[in-house]
Copies of this chain bind each other. A is one copy, B any other.
Amino acid sequence: MPVEMQLSRIIISEIHDQQIIYLSEVDGHRQFPIVIGIFEATSIERRIKGLKAPRPLTHDLIVGTIRQLGAEPDSVVVSDLRDGTYFAELRVQKDGELVGIDARPSDAIAVAVSCEPPLPIFVAEQVLDEAVSDSL
């Protein structure tokens, strides 16, 4: 069963290329970091801070694309961890079915926080186990 998580921290460093977000269990105490790029980190941060842009930014365009094609963003699942790389799925509802789109967690989470209300974020149980033990 995937475990519902929330974005609990973003650490942005202008000196480094790689930024860090933390996902924390909604009904528990487990958490782990994911290293992401500066663009995705600032994109997530803008949404968390509620900053509005006059024109659709890149992750807004993803939401716009989904809606214009008759679908609705549903959720994000961090589904796998292979060789230190997290894999995610952006899930959208279309004609009563759930369609999974292969994405990096950073983009999927940036899409999640671009939606109002934000999409729920889940992490597969075995990924959470491994991620938490790796980060201890």
Contacts and interface: CB of A to CB of B under 8 A. Distances in A.
A85 interface: yes
A55 interface: yes
Given A55-B104, A94-B69, A99-B69, A61 B61 contact: no
A13 interface: no
B55 A58 contact: no
B61 A90 contact: yes
Interface residues of A, number: 30
Interface string A60-88: 01101110111100000000000001010
Interface of A: 39-40, 54-59, 61-62, 64-66, 68-71, 85, 87, 90, 92, 94, 99-104, 107, 110
A58 B59 CA distance: 8
Nearest to A101: B68
28 contacts: A40-B58, A54-B85, A55-B85, A55-B104, A56-B103, A57-B104, A58-B58, A58-B59, A58-B62, A58-B110, A61-B62, A61-B104, A61-B107, A62-B62, A62-B65, A64-B101, A64-B102, A65-B65, A65-B66, A65-B69, A65-B92, A65-B101, A66-B69, A68-B92, A68-B100, A68-B101, A69-B94, A69-B99
